[in-house]
Structure formats: structure tokens, C-alpha cells
Amino acid sequence: MSASPAKPTADPSAKPTVTEREARQVAEAAREQGWRKPSFAKELFLGRFRLDLIHPHPLPDTEDAQRGEEFLAGLRDFCETKIDAARIEREARIPDEVINGLKELGALGMKIDTKYGGLGLTQVYYNKALALVGSANPALGALLSAHQSIGVPQPLKLFGTQEQKDEFLPRCARTDISAFLLTEPDVGSDPARLATSAVPDGDDYVLDGVKLWTTNGVVADLLVVMARVPKSEGHKGGITAFVVETASEGVTVEHRNAFMGLRGLENGVTRLHRVRVPAANRIGPEGAGLKIALTTLNTGRLSLPAMCVGAGKWCLKIAREWSGVREQWGKPVALHEAVGAKISFIAATTFALEAVLDLSSQMADENRNDIRIEAALAKLYGSEMAWLMADELVQIRGGRGFETAESLAARGERAVPAEQILRDLRINRIFEGSTEIMHLLIAREAVDAHLTVAGDLIDPDKSLPDKARAGANAGVFYAKWLPKLVTGAGQLPRSYAEFKYEGVGLSPHLRYVERSARKLARSTFYAMSRWQGRMETKQGFLGRIVDIGAELFAMSAACVRAELLRAQGRNGREAYQLADVFCRQARVRVEELFGRLWTNTDDIDRAVVKGVLAGTYTWLEEGVVDLSGEGPWIADATPGPSEQENVHRPIR
């Protein structure tokens, strides 16, 4: 390792200036290009309902299940006896003894291989553990998830050298907490503008920059940092991933952020000033950072819907108990249709979310399918539906739903933190890819087959010969593909007839999914033909396409899970009933989304937005007091030495 002072060859304060097209090219280069394994969701968006890819439902190995259940038993006891959720909410901090207790249980190493001191749990049981911990306190679930799903362990598992695994994974399994640092004050979902630099200097890199919203960053011992390496002789350059010791000279946690929910979250602002990092700590080659991040998230995203499933289960429990006790107009409120519909929605949706999660997780464990779209759909759908379920619970609870648990207890009632779960769940629609970004990410994968064969036709930079070749290839592809969208198994009355139990038939729903998948593919093709290169700007349309696909995936998963439970003799009748009602509710949403593909206000919305930005409607803002105060919209993130106290708080 070089000990000489850093001699940066690039100005670390220079922020990249990129065009919209350049930003898209950076994102496109980072995505995984090939499809080496089949994907149920990818086929669904192409109009092909490949039920054989998910049915019969895959099952965990017996030994894996036994180890997982044993760990869950100990974890449940810890959650019930050692975690004081009210204290965490009140003090806005997780007590050190709780985190140390989780370390002793091995919870930091749930996903780390046993040869490195971890528990080696499957994705299925890792998610069950997160759902359990998250139900005890969502901030604790977020800590464990950020550490293992996107922190140091997962990138090293997929891309690390053997030396890196030997050095860091044993620490991550038992003692050291990790964090992932990508976002910057002026950089969110547009990584092409990443400003943090990593300048080569001898055997080291010198890092400079400021990172925002560093979940676990306040208490982390190890960081995964994304930084831009300048291109130079012998250096390819580009956004690159590094393992950084938080105790390194020049690393300062300048602020612990506070949020409307997840009050125990150790999330902060981290400044890196001339931080020397050995080249041996670089993960993968230079320029591979974004690809590493996106690949890590292919399964890492499943941790978030796991906690959404846990939230749904809790919402159902509280809704059942409360609405059976509370009476209005001579009967329990649950028996009033307006309230009963909400309870039915919570029950059916919780069943479907767990079906989506378990199916995606088991497919991840088997590694037979490419689940990048399934995981993204699980994150998108789980975060949106869990928020709706929590909102419905607050409505069912009425004024008590708006009242804090502490206030309820103080006046002698059960301390039900309904308003807290609503606040805690809200971030999930933003965490690890906002709903809007997930729509675009999934839409890009959904149209990949089309862009592969016809993308050059709409690319303005391609030559006429390139466009001619693309036209020929597209002609061959669509000549085979389009006729298959006309008819299918969904039009045959006996298709999927095995999905029937005690008078409840799920086969009509599966036939609906098959027909709707073909309709979805036709709609996508028509839109591409109509808008061509402008398709990527039609974000409202693309969002609805993805939402339809999410509903169809959830319907499929719910039916397959119900049949699995029936075959296993585990609440088969009830599972069929829940799957049936969920599919009926989902079909209503799907039909509305199909209608809104072509009948919407997208065009006039754009006109109004332009007017708002131009100040046309400022008169509408009159008559209120603005409490937002003074100060810049985006904090200054100019690299340099820190002028703040270091609030880093390692837990030992």
C-alpha cells in the first residue's frame, strides 16, 4: 500500500454534466443484458403465460427448512422478550443491547455462508426472519436488511474476490454492521451525475464526496461506496464499488437524519475527504459499480416486501380483533359492508403478497429462473399494497387509528400503533427504487425483447443499413410472435381445470390471466408502433402496463400458493377462498388499468405542469403561510474537509 500523500489527477469538486440521453445510456449499460434463464414475468409481459415455470410451486429443501425454523423459533423469543418497540419509538433509537443481542443470535449473518461464520439461511427463511423482526420494529428490520441485502455481504458474495470474502464476511456475520452509499444530495435515481470521486494514487484510491441517506451509516463499521474513477492511462474509469472502513481517516458522519417513520433508523450524511482506500478493496473492475448495485438488488429487493407481508399480517390481526369488538348500530362494525370490504381487502391482499414473496424467494433459492422482474414486481406491488392496507386499518380504527399508541395506553386502552405503521410503511414506496423508478425499470425489462429485435429502428444514431437490418429482424420476429397473441388457453373452458377444490374454482382466474397477458402484449406492441422513440417518455402509460403485469403476477402466485396449501392439507379450503376473492378484486383493478391505457389525462396533465412551472397558477397559492423556512432546496455537497462533529456511533 502506498503511504505517499494523494496526488489527485482530477478535480474532485467537478460535478459531471450529462444530457438526458447520456444518463439513459449509463443506466442502460448498467443493466444485465442477457437472459440466460427463463423468466415467468418476462414471458407474461410478452403475452406468454408460462404456468409451468411456477407450478407446481417450488419447495425448500427439508434440511434448509429445518434450520430455518429452528432459527425463527429463537428469533421469535428474542423479539417477544427483548425488543421494546414503544421505547424505540419514544427514544428514536434502537438500544445497543438489542443490536448486540441480534448479533449473538447470528442475525447479522443470516444470508452469509456457514464457512464464513454465517447462518447460511435460504432467501425464503431470510425473508421470514425479516418479516418477524420487522413486525417487532420496522427500523430493526431495515437495519438487518440494509446490512445484508445491499450492504457489504451481498456484493461480495456475488462479485468479491476470495481474499475479500475471507477478510470481510466473517466480520459481517457476527460483529460488523455494513451500509450502502450511493445517493448524494444532488443525485438520486440518476447515477450518471454521481459526483463522489475515487482518484487512483499508487496502490490506493483517494475518495472525496458526500453521501446522503446512508441507512446504517451512523453505526456502520464497513461501507460499500459508489464513486467515480476518472479515466486515465491504465484506468478504465467509471462508477466503481469499494469496501471502505468507516474508521478510516477522512470519513465523517456529519448528521443523523430524522424521518416521519422508522424513528430508530440509523440513517445519516457521510462525508469522505481524501479517504485512502486500498485497491484490494475495490469490488469488481473499474466501471462495474452500477452493474454490481443492480445485480445485488435483483434478490436484495425481496427483503422489503418481506416486511410488507409482516405488516399485512399485523393489520389483519388488529382489524379482526377490533372490528369484532367495536359495535355500531347494533352489530360489530365488521358486519357493516363498508368496513367488511376493507377487512376482506386486507385479508386477500396479505395472502397474495405472501404468495408473491414466497414464490419469488423460492425461485431465487433454486436459481433455475431469472427473477429480476419478479423481485422488482414484488417490491413495487408489496410497497404499494402494504401502504393501502395500513391506511385501511387506520380508517377501520377511526379516531383511535389516528391516535398514538402512547396516548391510547395513557387513557386505559390497548396501545395499538396503527398510525405508526402507516408512517413506517410510507418509506417503502421510495426505498430501493421509488414506485415511479420501479415502473420505468420494469417497463424497460418488459420491452427488452422488442428493443433487441427492433431497437435500432427507433435509435436516431443508427445508420440506414443498421435500420434496414433491424427491420428485417423485426419482421421475422413479429411474423412469428403476433399470431400467437390472438388465441390461447385462456379461451378454452377446461384449461387449468385442476385448480378446483370443494366448489371453489381458480381456473377462471388463470384463464383470465392468460387472456390478459396476451392483451397486455398487444397493447404494448401497439404503443411502440404508435410512439416509437417517444415511448420512453410515456411514463403514465408504462406505469399502467407494469401495474397490470404486477396484478397478473400476484393472481398467478395466489392461485399456485392456494393449490400448494390444498395439496399439503394446510388450510386448503381457506386458501382457495382467499385466492378467489383476491383474484376477483385484482380483476376489477386490471380492467380499470386497461381502460386507462388509452383514456386518461396524460396530455392535459403535461400542459398543466408546464403552466405550474411557468408561474401561470401562482394566484392559486395565495392565502396560506409557507412554513418551509429559508435555505437551499439541496444542501451544498462540495468535497472538502468536514466542519461537523463526527456522530458515527459503532456498536460493540
Residue 530 DSSP SS3: helix
Amino acid letter, 246: T
Catalytic position from the list 354, 374, 403, 432: 432
φ, ψ of residue 457 to 5 degrees: the values are -65, -30
- Bridge-based pairing state of the strands 331-332 and 327-328: antiparallel
CB 129 within 8 A of CB 121: yes
Which residue is listed with cell 452509499?
A: 181
- Taking each continuous run of H as one helix and of E as one strand, the counts in the chain are 23, 12
Within its chain, how far is the Cα of 184 from the centroid? 19
Q: Are 120 and 114 in contact (CB under 8 A)?
A: yes
Active site residue 413: no
Name the nearest CA neighbour of 554 among 516, 501, 592. 516
Distance, in Å, from the CA atom of 447 to the CA atom of 455, rounded to the nearest integer, reads: 10
DSSP assigned state of 147 = I
Q: If you count them, how many residues does the chain have?
A: 652
Q: Which residues have a Cβ under 8 Å from the Cβ of 113 and sit 6 or more positions away? A: 120, 157, 169
Distance of alpha carbon 210 from alpha carbon 197, whole angstroms:
10
Fill in the amino acid letter for 337. Answer: E
Q: What is the DSSP string of 15-77?
A: -----HHHHHHHHHHHS-----S--HHHHHHTT---GGGT-SPP---HHHHHHHHHHHHHHHH
Distances (CA, A) of 447 to 5, 34, 155, 356, 383: 49, 13, 27, 22, 23
Cα distances from 333 to residues 319, 578, 600, 620, in angstroms, run 10, 21, 36, 41
| Cell output for 420 | 405508526
The catalytic residues are: 432
